[in-house]
Amino acid sequence: MKDEFSPCYVELSKSSLQKNISFLKNYVGEDVVFSSVIKGNAYGHGIDYFVPLAEECGIRHFSVFSSDEARKACRASTHEDTHVMIMGMIRNDVIAWAIEHDVSFFIFELDRLKAAAEEAKRIGKPARVHLHLETGMNRLGLDSDQFGETAQLIKDHSEYLQIDGLCTHYAGAESVGNYVRIQEQIDRFEEYTSWFEEQGIDAENYHTACSASTLNYPETIMDMVRIGIAQYGFWPNRETYMNFVKKYPEINAKHEDPLERVISWKSEVMSTKRVPAGEFIGYGNTYLTSRNQQIATVPIGYSHGFGRNLTNVGIVLINGERAPVAGLVNMNLLTVDITDISNVQKGDEVVIIGKQGDQEMTVASFSEMRNFMNYEVLVQIPSTLPRYIV
């Protein structure tokens, strides 16, 4: 049942998600833990909606950036055996909540490790931690000169620190331009994990691979992979897709992308109007009619994530045809030229991202119009829009 109060909405395809997860699990191996990355409101798909949907598709491990996302994921989960892992921000005074709710978290500072041991001892339950090692990203991670103190802290508090993982993150595995840097990181991670093992510190899981490194560097597939953009049906970039199909010609032979877009974004025609030739449409003088034109207003604007920079260049689908934006994109509405589209009526479906008839507006085409990455377009879809599973 659609929300009759909302001017636009998002649809999530369960069959597409299941196809993506099945393809990726088959690729990485069934014994590898598939951690679904749901940071950025599940890449715009909505944590509240996506977590139970992914659980229906067999996912039991989720990665978030911060503790607020972890709390949302825990609340959204419908399975007792689902686990949530925080890869980034958690304040020391929230660590107790994480321990109590069996949420694991990355350690990239000694201060956080000490706080985890103290809180775990106070609560009487081990903290589940992942040691995030600095291998060359130079953003977050324990530096090699901190390893000695890290190992000693773990030994001193072995009863209260459960080492769920040893991990790192690669600095741009989607681009061949970073190949040397990635190889150096792979080598360092192997060296560093060997050092910890020599100290008697073993991890439950060794994990380094995101979507890009999983697809471009199979050797980075370890005990667990952290899959973000790919599970939603998008390749990290075109280069990754081309490399993959070149490496696996049997996929290329099918002439079909093994990943399917999960998300669609839709609205409706709010009103139609006939505008004579030689008239400006909307605010200012950015669009002048060159003939007698039929214009439709759509109740979606830059407050909904349809950027103002799509003025006179954006495209939506109406009645299976491409309708170009005509005039300034406003805060809450936009106007499109429907002169050459027959029989457009108030209430007709408008597709911003998705399929309609034989036409499709992809996230890639939408992002190219905005000069954005896929990631940026997705996460800017407001969390307030209703989501529906289809």
The predicted-structure confidence for 175-185, as pLDDT tens digits, reads as follows: 889 999 999 99
The number of domains in the chain is: 2
Distance in angstroms (rounded) separating the CA atoms of residues 132 and 250: 36
Query: Residues marked as binding?
Result: 139, 331
Query: Residues marked as binding for substrate?
Result: 139, 331
Shared-domain flag, residues 75 and 181? yes
Shared-domain flag, residues 173 and 296? no
Continuous segment of H or E residues that includes residue 359: strand 359-361
**Domain ends where: 222, 253, 284?**
253
According to the model, what pLDDT value does residue 369 have? 65
Residue type (1 letter), 64 = V
Shared-domain flag, residues 143 and 65? yes
- Mean pLDDT confidence for 176-200: 96
Residue 23's domain is classified under what CATH number?
Answer: 3.20.20.10
Shared-domain flag, residues 157 and 280? no
Mean pLDDT, the chain, as a whole number?
94
Continuous segment of H or E residues that includes residue 161: strand 161-167
Boundaries of domain holding 288: 263-389
pLDDT of 368 higher than 70: no
Shared-domain flag, residues 301 and 161? no
According to the model, what pLDDT value does residue 232 have? 98
**Domain ends where: 253, 284, 303?**
253
According to the model, what pLDDT value does residue 370 have? 59
- 301 touches 341 (CB < 8 A): no
User: Is 283 assigned a catalytic role?
Assistant: yes
Which member of 179, 254, 273, 283 is catalytic?
Answer: 283
**Domain ends where: 187, 219, 253?**
253
What is the percent of the chain with per-residue pLDDT over 70, rounded to a whole number?
97
According to the model, what pLDDT value does residue 51 have? 98
Q: Is 274 exposed, middle or buried (0-12, 13-18, 19+ CB in 10 A)?
A: exposed
Shared-domain flag, residues 75 and 28? yes
- Mean pLDDT confidence for 272-282: 97
Shared-domain flag, residues 35 and 99? yes
Of residues 305 and 296, more confidence is placed in 296
- 324 touches 337 (CB < 8 A): yes
According to the model, what pLDDT value does residue 253 have? 67
Shared-domain flag, residues 112 and 137? yes
Backbone angles phi, psi at 121, to 5 degrees: -65, -40
Q: Does residue 339 lie in a domain region?
A: yes
Q: Does residue 5 lie in a domain region?
A: no
- Mean pLDDT confidence for 93-118: 98
Using pLDDT thresholds of 50, 70 and 90, give the confidence band for residue 1.
low
Segments in the chain forming alpha helices (H):
14-28, 39-43, 47-56, 67-76, 95-100, 110-123, 147-156, 179-198, 211-216, 238-247, 249-253, 363-370, 374-379
Shared-domain flag, residues 40 and 67? yes
User: Is 247 assigned a catalytic role?
Assistant: no
Shared-domain flag, residues 150 and 211? yes
Q: What is the pTM of this model?
A: 0.94
DSSP 345: -
pLDDT of 372 higher than 70: no
Which member of 39, 49, 160, 287 is catalytic?
Answer: 39
Name the β-bridge partners of 128. Answer: 162
